[in-house]
Amino acid sequence: MAAAARLFRGAARGPPALAFARALGSAPSGPAGRGARRAALAAAGTLGGLGLALGLWRRQAALAAAREDEEEKELRQRFMAPPVSGLRELRRRRRELRSRMELLIMETQAEVCRALTALDPGASFAVDSWERKEGGGGISCVLQDGEVFEKAGVNVSVVSGLLSEEAARQMRSRGKSLKAKDGKLPFCAMGVSSVIHPKNPHVPTMHFNYRYFEIEEADGTKQWWFGGGTDLTPTYLNEEDAVHFHKTLKEACDKHDPKLYPKYKKWCDDYFYIKHRGERRGIGGIFFDDMDSPSKEEVFQFVKSCAKAVVPCYIPIVKKHCHDSFTPEEKLWQQLRRGRYVEFNLVYDRGTKFGLLTPGSRIESILMSLPLTARWEYMHTPPESSKEAEILEVLRNPKDWVH
């Protein structure tokens, strides 16, 4: 074999086939030469096999790269804008839950935007990608002054950095035990949030939000939790719509545990309570927060089911009523109810508070939830037995819509 190696070193000036011929031709005669030629043939066979393997590996690598490029192209077409973390980074960490959650909120944003655009084809979403100097960024998609929707916003944010003391204090007030190191709490938060304000007072406003939060404590351990929900705020009560909306959300919850819908329906009724008015913001839906059991994977799958229920629970209601006729008086009542919506969001909403307390937050995206128009009248009270009084009764005394 040593002789064969010497032959190849001496002959390897040129293409492999020519080098092999030179190696065989330069072998000495006699037994030693025959041994060297046999060794050269064996070595050539080994090198040939390595060459085939290398060629196969290169072809497989090229095919894999082409598949990745095609998948990235498909993802770009599916999303409203490139993800905050970047497609390649998400693919590299695709098994990590944070990456899967970011992909989910990106997909949800795109699904909802496309469903709304299909109902309001003359309008389009302005897509605004932004960065946060403290870490992360977001994608805001906002439609304004359409034929069907006066204002519709669907926002994605993926932010990280150090939690402000005000935000940490707010979380501790909810029972979170957060142990800071030198007063610092590194965090990562991501979510998709949407508020849709239609023009027609017979089409309800809808809100949804699904989010993931992670905080690293002083000893390096990480606290994590999910939160979110979907809720409906009609100007006028339509019981058939209310049943459809709640049944769709119940079906999403029941896939995981039949106890979840009644628990989160009550939480929604309690959370969206305007204390100074003594009434709820709307007819509810589901709401949950600080959800960290039974396991991270199980909670993620539950959140995914809820996010996938957004379009089917709401879009059929919009289709049904977007061309209903309405009076100036009904439009006026819609404006007054929007005033209540603004009051809740600015005074009580956790997401709004967290955003306003987080350094570097994008105020335009946080206040995207507010309607273009609203109205406040001094001491306005609707007549008894009116349609306006009917919705107020439900807002003061929540109903069970699915039993």
Please give the single-letter amino acid code of residue 8.
Answer: F
C-alpha 172/C-alpha 372 separation (Å) is 34
C-alpha 230/C-alpha 194 separation (Å) is 9
| Maximum CA extent, the chain | 119
Question: Closest Cα to residue 276, out of 371, 338, 347, 367?
Answer: 347
Residues 197 and 175 sit within 8 Å (Cβ to Cβ): no
Q: Token digits for 101?
A: 């959650």
The one catalytic residue among 197, 202, 207, 321 = 207
Please give the single-letter amino acid code of residue 226.
Answer: F
Phi, psi dihedrals of residue 289, rounded to the nearest 5°: -150, 165
Residues 206 and 230 sit within 8 Å (Cβ to Cβ): yes
Angle, alpha carbons 20-22-27 (nearest 5°): 100
Residues 239 and 125 sit within 8 Å (Cβ to Cβ): no
* 207 noted as active-site residue: yes
Which helix (H) or strand (E) covers residue 333, if one does?
A: helix 328-347
| Residue 184 CB burial class (10 angstroms; 0-12, 13-18, ≥19) | middle
Residues 163 and 147 sit within 8 Å (Cβ to Cβ): no
Locus of tokens 């209903």: 324
User: Residue 236: CB partners within 8 Å, gap ≥ 6?
Assistant: 201, 202, 330, 333, 387, 388, 390, 391
First to last CA, the chain: 85
Catalytic residue numbers, as ranges: 207
